[in-house]
Structure 1
Amino acid sequence: MDDGTLTEPLLVAHLDLDAFFAQVEELAKPSIRGRPVVVAGRGGRGVITTANYPARRFGVHSAMPSWQGRALAPHAVWLSPRGTAYSEHSTAALAPIRATFSRVEQVAYDEVYVDLSSARTPDELAALDPDDGPDPALAVHGVAWVADPYAACTALRQAVWDATGLTASVGVARHKLGAKLASESSKPAGAAVLDAAAEAELLPTLEAKALPGIGPVSARKLAGAGIRTVADVRAAGEPTVVGLLGQAHGTAVWDLAHGRDTRRVEYDRERKSVGAERTLPADLRDLESLRATHAAVFAEAHRRLLRSGAAARTVTVKVRYADFTIETRAASLAAPTDEEPALRAAAEHALAATSAPGTGVRLVGVAFSALDTVAQLLLSLGDEAAAELVPELAPAATPGFHPAYARDASTAADPRLGAGPADGPGPLVTEQSAPGSDVVHDELGRGWLVGAGHGVASVRFETSTSPPARSATVRLADGVLRHCDPEPPRPAAGPAPWKA
């Protein structure tokens, strides 16, 4: 995005995996590659998490209600989210980047900022312990990261491709704002370098919502005052912007609109919470149904806590009512733990402190916070011992609730339908099983669920490396079709598409 002559060091890279969830699905399911693919929640309140680029040509996009997207692209492949598969592919895709640099800020499963000046030296790489951090063997060598930002872009996306077969868009600039704008401009599977001159030319042409921190609410406030582009922000003046958005937020937006971004790559930022939540297809109005749903959401949140390797001291329960009001209650233990009985007792105590079911409940969430990855865990508690802790738990309203996996949070999977334990068979497929789920047949092997109903399941038996799919209809009553863990990430099987 410039003439190749750089007048200042460009130190920040932004890497964004293209249509990440849909890409992972296409890797695992060869028969859907090249077709419109949408990953979305089911039911009347489901929300689209990702649409691949063929689907976007029909007007489908993330955060759109599923029913609206289906009306626009009824012939697309519609799949439910597979959180474990996305987590594993994210880890594998970013592993070479984490091995190469000491300062990497992950802001989502599919998005990181990289401080290019933090590339590890050979001595630093040799000192890395793969058991405690990134594998030094994964590091990318031979690139002048700061001196040659063009080579940096190429090397970063090549590393992701080699590790997983996923494409990424990469931008390099002098700060985080510029790097993000550069990567956005190069989608999909592209690379761009944005220096100060190119940034000054690009910024005024953008919509105001392109600036970090301007979400739908802020965008509506600005639009109400006739401010729709970055140029409009500049023309409005700082007092007007601050008056609309508040002192801190307005000042930050004003600075960003002028290309001033002092945010650092927060490589040491700790995860604040781990959780899950579920939007319900119909409002819950009885206590028994609420408790059952709460137990299922707690189980999913607890699985995520265990996968994170952290212990938690505080459990927060979130309830959204039929009138869209939100209530949160928290309960805290004496010390951090990952033990299920104690955390479940705290979650149930927090739920009891809410007004639910009240006017009807449309969403239930559970989050674990006050995380500690090195805490001395509480001794394993039985249900009776955990129950004795309940009177000591102090419920309190807590502002904000931020599930660690927010992009998938509205469609958290039912624990009965998730992948089975590694040392035994998974649960049987039922008519409630989600389309796209990983399944295994006693004789036909691995595949994925197209759909289930009327006592049968439609399955495509294929893997990421298999020949074209074999389709079959399986009787559920036969008990030969079970859920299973997703395939692990695999290195790329061929050259990167930008080299084809």
Structure 2
Amino acid sequence: MRNVASVLHLDLDAFFAAVEQRDKPSLRGKPVVVGGVGGRGVVSTASYEARKYGVRSAMSTREARSRCPHAAFLSGRFHAYRTASEQVMAVLRATSPLVEPLSLDEAFVDLAAAGLPDLEVDTVRHVAERLRAQVAEVTGGLTASVGIGSSKFIAKVASDLDKPDGLVVVPPGGELDLLRPMHVSVIPGVGPATTERLRRAGIHTVADLEVISEDELVRMLGAAHGHGLHLLAHAEDDRPVVPERETKSVSVEGTYDTDLTDRRLMAALLTRQARRVAERLRASGLAGRTVTIKVRLHDFTTISRSSTIGSPTDAASTISRLAVALLQDLDTTGGVRLLGVGVSGLADWIQEDLFGTTEDDVEPEGDLDADLDAGAPSTAGAKATTHTWAPGMDVEHAEMGRGWVWGSGRGVVTVRFETAATGPGPVRSLKADDPALQPWRPESPDGSTVPDMHERHR
């Protein structure tokens, strides 16, 4: 254990929704929900305004609409999220060579490697305040919550204490004072099933857990889980901050507050994860042969299943199809608390049209028809001339300039013409096949158009 508070955890607040509010002035201060917008869609991120109505991630879009019908439901724009993430990670890496990204919006930073004059509480607090200011500056106003402590566990707990836009430093020696009053679910790995087992044993807080012997926890929860829980209940966590290494696999997973029992919802979540994995593969110029799903059941049993194909692929439809098929063989009747999709056996080439189809020729399993990438233009067939106008996607009109899709249907697309720099703009309804209206993508430094998630990497 470190004797100084030198591990920093940064978490961008309601990241996807915050980027949408930044770029869409008319949505600032209003409820925004990003994710699948179809009947079987799943919420990816909800703004804090939407969370006041009980909307949360992994909730079905149907339920989110019933709780907050006046929210803006957007399919999302991964290119914008990726750009903002890269800006933030660059700020962190300029501070320390040891940065461990956990996702697009979250990372650990080892301040002990930052060359600071000292690691006193006032010094690291000043560093954190400067980082948060720099993040807001480079991203155009996004906020981040930061926690600093003597370990990854403590830093992560601290970053959740004062959201949004908060900063909490836990001084060395104050770890247990912080943890003891907290509910046991603050400890990583303590989900609903474990919480219930502990409750039956009269264990509700970290203070209750602290006095339980390791042997008793092992008998109650198993060797690995019991040992790990015993350490964290005593604030013992010596995991190092590990910077990015050579990629051997690409994966996405999520842990859910409430055990999942709906198979359609699980299939929809795997489909979304498969698409995010495919985007990351393409962004790195990679493809893979082995698709793996990771499923953690209600009793904390973790199961992995894999399927290997003949040639590498980066197609979301292929990864999704294999992942959902692997799920079908598992018994999930007791509930699932974690789902993940990964691709390994990586190569820097792909076999085109592996199954004789392109991604857009195949409907994804679970009909998650408006995942984070659904705003990309249709490429199904060489003669395709129409576009899929998904809510939230960026567009440009030859006369009215740039804007975003408010909604579409019955041959009409409604666009609000505004950008982050213009202020709230006018709303216009146009024919869906209006040749003056086109999807908009930012240009990369070399002048090429930045691809979004559906656009194939060749």
TM-score past 0.5 threshold: yes
Q: What is the aligned partner in structure 1 of residue 160 from structure 2?
A: 184
Structure 1 residue 482 displacement after superposition: 2.7
Q: What is the aligned partner in structure 2 of residue 43 from structure 1?
A: 38
Cα distance between partner residues in 1 of 2:219 and 2:314? 48
Q: What is the aligned partner in structure 2 of residue 434 from structure 1?
A: 390
Structure 1 residue 116 displacement after superposition: 0.5
Cα deviation 1:446-468 (Å, max 9, x = unaligned): 11111112221111111111132
TM-score (norm 2): 0.74
Pair 1:88 & 2:83 matched: yes
- Which is worse superposed, 297-306 or 205-214? 297-306
Q: What is the aligned partner in structure 2 of residue 156 from structure 1?
A: 131
Question: CA 1:237 to 1:84, structure 2 compared with 1: closer, same or farther past 3 Å?
Answer: same
Structure 1 residue 249 displacement after superposition: 1.6
Cα distance between partner residues in 2 of 1:296 and 1:111? 19
Question: 3-state DSSP class of the match of 2:174?
Answer: helix
Pair 1:74 & 2:69 matched: yes
- Which is worse superposed, 46-55 or 105-114? 46-55
Structure 1 residue 243 displacement after superposition: 2.8
Alignment of 1:248-287 (within 5 A): 248-269=224-245, 271=247, 273-274=249-250
Q: What is the aligned partner in structure 2 of residue 401 from structure 1?
A: none
Pair 1:331 & 2:304 matched: no
Q: What is the aligned partner in structure 2 of residue 245 from structure 1?
A: 221
Match of 1:62 among 52, 57, 61: 57
Alignment of 1:5-16 (within 5 A): 8-16=3-11
Q: What is the aligned partner in structure 2 of residue 207 from structure 1?
A: 183
Quick check: 1:457–1:476 contact (8 Å CA) kept in 2?
A: yes
Identify which of structures 1 and 2 has the higher relative contact order when contacts are C-alpha pairs closer than 8 Å and 6+ apart.
2
Structure 1 residue 59 displacement after superposition: 2.4
Question: 3-state DSSP class of the match of 2:346?
Answer: strand
Pair 1:234 & 2:229 matched: no
Pair 1:447 & 2:403 matched: yes
Question: CA 1:355 to 1:12, structure 2 compared with 1: closer, same or farther past 3 Å?
Answer: closer
Structure 1 residue 16 displacement after superposition: 0.8
> Match for 1:56: what amino acid?
R
Structure 1 residue 158 displacement after superposition: 1.7
Question: 3-state DSSP class of the match of 1:42?
Answer: coil
Cα distance between partner residues in 2 of 1:441 and 1:118? 49
Match of 2:346 among 371, 388, 392: 371
Question: Which structure has the larger Rg over C-alpha atoms?
Answer: 1
Cα distance between partner residues in 1 of 2:13 and 2:411? 37
Cα distance between partner residues in 2 of 1:232 and 1:220? 14
Gaps of 5+ in 2: 254-259, 296-302, 331-338, 356-366, 446-458
Cα distance between partner residues in 2 of 1:351 and 1:305? 16
Question: CA 1:186 to 1:456, structure 2 compared with 1: closer, same or farther past 3 Å?
Answer: same
Question: CA 1:85 to 1:347, structure 2 compared with 1: closer, same or farther past 3 Å?
Answer: closer
Cα distance between partner residues in 1 of 2:327 and 2:238? 43
Structure 1 residue 175 displacement after superposition: 1.0
Pair 1:306 & 2:301 matched: no
Cα deviation 1:387-411 (Å, max 9, x = unaligned): 8xxxxxxxxxxxxxxxxxxxxx977
Question: CA 1:413 to 1:220, structure 2 compared with 1: closer, same or farther past 3 Å?
Answer: same
Pair 1:471 & 2:427 matched: yes
Question: CA 1:260 to 1:298, structure 2 compared with 1: closer, same or farther past 3 Å?
Answer: closer
Question: CA 1:209 to 1:351, structure 2 compared with 1: closer, same or farther past 3 Å?
Answer: closer
Question: 3-state DSSP class of the match of 2:391?
Answer: coil
Structure 1 residue 83 displacement after superposition: 2.3
Cα distance between partner residues in 2 of 1:353 and 1:9? 48
Cα distance between partner residues in 1 of 2:323 and 2:3? 55
Cα distance between partner residues in 2 of 1:76 and 1:282? 27
Quick check: 1:428–1:481 contact (8 Å CA) kept in 2?
A: no
Question: CA 1:355 to 1:471, structure 2 compared with 1: closer, same or farther past 3 Å?
Answer: closer
TM-score (norm 1): 0.68
Cα distance between partner residues in 2 of 1:157 and 1:116? 15
Gaps of 5+ in 1: 1-6, 121-142, 284-289, 320-325, 359-363, 388-408, 490-500
Cα distance between partner residues in 2 of 1:260 and 1:174? 9
> Match for 1:440: what amino acid?
E
Structure 1 residue 310 displacement after superposition: 3.3
Aligned sequence identity (%): 40
Quick check: 1:427–1:483 contact (8 Å CA) kept in 2?
A: no
Cα distance between partner residues in 1 of 2:425 and 2:155? 40
Cα distance between partner residues in 1 of 2:236 and 2:230? 9
